Amino acid sequence: MSLQAYIDIFVWLLRPIPIPENPRLTSQDVTVVIPSIEGDGDVLWETICSILATEPFEIILVTIDANTTRAQLMVKSMGTSKIRIRSVANPNKRRQMVCAIPEIQTDITVFADDDVLWPPRLLSWMLAPLEDEGYGGVGTNQRLRRAESPNPQQRVYRYLNALYLERRNFDCASCMYMDGGLPCLSGRTVAYRSSVLKDDAFIRGFTNEEWLGRYQLNADDDNFITRWLLSHDKKISFQYHKEAEVLTTLEDNPNFTAWGTRDGADDDDAYRMIRVSSKQQEVSNVQVHERFLHRGEKCEYGFPTQIFNPNDTE
């Protein structure tokens, strides 16, 4: 049995932090930020409807200037006053996220991708750990959205995608049980304390992260924020529960493996994972080593295993 298989047994021992009987935080303490390039479409419509069903305080949809009108038309047709639209000049997820931060009026911020589906009680489960002021971020369980009438090739890629997400759920649950750490709080749907995001030092670091001191990093926002929380003594949580499970999409075509053939493919999940892994893992390994190993504090299970498998990153 491999080391990872042995450790993944701990997934069955993890229990999520329960929803309190009289919670201090409610869905009205949550603002949901959705970065989206297109700003409209059937998938985004479904995403927003599933989020609205959880009754957050509001949703901020951040698109690009060229697609603002499309976003406005879609939101108008939805007949709700809970959605505000903001935009940036060019596609850049980190810049889109930061664009919304000054607009947030609630104690908790949830970032969500524009292709996820939420279960009705998701916010209740995500807020449970944040009742403790020591927690700065909460991650979610994830599954692949089912496709309608996939062809044989798509079935193969979707099988690989489903395995990836399932393995990641096991990894996160095992890490959380063993030492309270995680490989990464996935940005597909994740909750943060708004005060962390509004810190000027955080915003400067988030929008100016570089690799080798020369190349600005725009992808892997979730890796940066996870490292930031850990380096600022904030606890993180992973709610491994069916009612905290979001559905998401991944590439189900040859782009799944086209990791070295093109640039600017930030929406291609498999390509993104491989393209940024070497850069982000180098940063993560150095920071985790300095922060945790030298000081004798707890270290994530994801750190030692990813040394031997450097392309294994969120």
Instruction: For 243-296, give the DSSP string.
Output: GGEEEE----SGGGG-TTS-S--TT-HHHHHHHHHHHHHHHHHHHHIIIIITTT
Give dist(CA 186, CA 115) in Å, integer: 14
pLDDT of residue 171: 76
CA dist 108 to 31, 121, 136, 256, Å? Answer: 6, 16, 9, 34
Q: What is the pLDDT of residue 46?
A: 97
pLDDT reported for residue 151:
76
Report the pLDDT value the prediction gives residue 163, as an integer from 0 to 100. Answer: 78
Low-confidence ranges of the chain (pLDDT < 70): 1-14, 177-178, 251-314
Question: Amino acid identity, residue 50?
Answer: S
> What is the pLDDT, as a whole number, of residue 246?
95
Instruction: Please list, in sequence order, all residues whose beta carbon lies within 8 angstroms of the beta carbon of residue 15, skipping any fewer than 6 positions away.
Output: none
The distance of Cα 28 from the centroid of its chain, to the nearest Å, equals 21
pTM attached to this predicted model: 0.79
Q: What is the pLDDT of residue 183?
A: 77
3-state secondary structure of 107: coil
Range 89-108 burial, b when 16+ CB lie within 10 A, else e: eebbbbbbbbbbbeebebbb
CB 273: neighbour CB atoms within 10 A?
19
Q: Which two tokens stand for residue 222?
A: 């979730």
pLDDT, residue 144, reads 85
Amino acid code (one letter) for 264: G
Q: What pLDDT does 125 receive?
A: 97
Q: CA separation (Å) from 120 to 28, 44, 76, 299?
A: 14, 17, 23, 34
Is the alpha carbon torsion for 229, 230, 232, 237 positive or negative? positive
pLDDT of residue 206: 96
Q: Are strands 189-193 and 210-211 parallel, antiparallel or unpaired?
A: unpaired
**pLDDT value at residue 288:** 45
Rounded Cα distance between 264 and 155, Å, is 26
